[in-house]
Amino acid sequence: MAENPLLELQRYGQSFWYDNISRSILRSGELKRMIEEEGLRGVTSNPTIFYKAIKSGTGYDQQLKELFSRDDNLTAKEIFYALASQDITEACDLLMDVYKKTEGDDGYVSLEVDPHLAHDTEGTIREAKELFHRINRPNLMIKVPATLEGLPAVEELIYEGVNVNVTLLFSVDRYREVMDAYLRGLERRMNEDRPLDSVASVASFFVSRVDTLTDRYLEEMLADADDEKASKIRSLFGKTAVANAQIAYDVFKQTFSTDRFLRLKLKGARIQRLLFGSTSTKNPTYSDILYVQELIGPGTVNTMPDDTWRAFKDHGRAERTIDRDVQSAYSTIEELQTLGISLDEITERLEDEGVRLFAESFDALIGLIESKRQGA
């Protein structure tokens, strides 16, 4: 029988996490099966995932009924976190063996703070700590957006011993700032002789959306291009996202090879692993495993939704690809610049859009709970 490529990823230092959670996959035993058979080593969630989980099926109805009848003063947000906390706690417990076997390197489950707090440093810190202590599992990660206001929150939470998944990262420059915030938090702990080995973090670098927006700019440019320029433009379609992520990995390797990190490592600190999110392929003309196949390497995580992990299991190939031709990645970004396309502008727009979309999903989720309360 052929080896499962998902399991093979571990040989190349990459962990497969699942970008999904629902009561049905917890209660049916599917999540447990994935841990045992597919090499699953972590779970990520977001408001959109919870909205779909609560909207489809009846898995949450009994708990909702109990919450509605228990206290009329509970807000829909409080009710959501009660539902989410139960799912996240169960997932943490299922992954606890992975957490223990990997000595805290893997086995994490991520829960996001309210996206409306994306530009509120103090509000983010407060809610992240509340959720972390409420669920009270060492393998819980709290997702904090990589906005400018999120950076000091990341530093403070790491300092306070909260595991952080820094999410909605699109720009390599912002990624440098995220790693710096992580290291500052650890340095503050070290200066106070607090343990470093009990704190973990990942930086979630979003991939496919970069191609979606860049390709749109290229498409507009193509309309007025002469033959020579058109040929150059066509050669760049579907190339930016992988190039951007590969450059991020190059920066990751540089940062965690410095004397600054070595001093922390000697005291037990972990690297902040680079996690690739938004890895489903949006353009049907591209490979359905493009954002997994080209981003395999040590110190990384790929969080995959259903269609993507199934596709990779079916026809993926586990091999180190992420730094096979990093010079080509830099060249791709330079070529975009010569065409007048600013990756900085693209990533800034994607960050703003990402915060807005998650906030809209969160509002839809709150609205769904309110409508269920009205119908109860």
**Residue 143 designated active-site:** yes
The 3-state DSSP class for residue 312 equals helix
Residue 327: burial class (beta carbons within 10 Å; 0-12, 13-18, 19+): exposed
> What gap in Å lies between CA 88 and CA 85, rounded to an integer?
5
Of 143, 232, 265, 313, which one is the catalytic site residue?
A: 143
The 3-state DSSP class for residue 266 equals coil
Q: How many Cα atoms are found within 13 Å in the side-chain-facing hemisphere of 217?
A: 19
- Which own/partner contact pairs does 37-40 have at CB distance under 8 Å and 24+ positions apart? 37/4, 38/4, 38/6, 38/7, 38/309, 38/313, 39/4, 39/6, 39/7, 39/9, 39/10, 40/6, 40/16
Q: How many Cα atoms are found within 13 Å in the side-chain-facing hemisphere of 195?
A: 6
Residue 362: burial class (beta carbons within 10 Å; 0-12, 13-18, 19+): buried
Nearest residue to 314 via CA among 70, 9, 4, 50: 4
Q: Give catalytic residues, as residue numbers.
A: 143
